[in-house]
Structure 1
Amino acid sequence: MKECYSVMAEDSYLITDSIAYAQLPSSTYDSIQADLGCSDNPSRPPIDFDQYYLVGAKTLAKGCIVTYSRDINYLSSSNSLQYKIDVHQCGDCGDKRYNMNWVLIQNTETINPIDSLIVHINYYIESN
């Protein structure tokens, strides 16, 4: 059996409370879960939303080897989080490699509450 994970229907998520977190299973692609031989509702770790936000952004790569560089910043001018992801793909295996790039962000008074999430994804194809 392959590694189980959730591939979400939306391209990005900003989860700020336990209610939205509990609703995540309704946003998974069941067909991908079934192809992986996984439960359609994999377990998720508990998160204290008084202390953290959960941010995710979906990427799809097709390389044999895929690496990621991630950077997240708070933009006070728009009261938003900016999430930058660089996806480096190497080789041509034909496999689709989904990643939700989940990250916990400490909830501080400086960034509470966040109005929006801005996502920038750059794809790079590397030669062998």
Structure 2
Amino acid sequence: MKSFVSLLFVLLSFNVSAMDIYCEAWSQQNGGSLNKSLMNVESSTADNIVYSATHEGFEFKVDWNFELTSLYTTVRKNGNTVLFTTARVPSENHRDSFTDLKLPNGLRLSVNCEVQ
């Protein structure tokens, strides 16, 4: 019960619940159109939720531990990490969280999470 109350407090302090956030994997080649894939819920517990997608041959993952104020974003290619970063959890005041990387070959990879 104590952990449920703690989780509820954390969610209320962000004024958002895990089910109110969705994430997308984005890619764009120089001069090309923006391609998007919705990230699915890979796992969910009382303590965290993990979103993931395979997009353009890359593995995208967002891990949100509810006790923390950060999203942990990872992008991998063939098991090798090309991006690991933290981003703020979206809220009613800051509705989205965006992470962006441009590779040397001109491919732009992004992760966008936002409040629905």
TM-score by length of 1: 0.25
Q: Which has the larger radius of gyration?
A: 1
TM-score by length of 2: 0.27
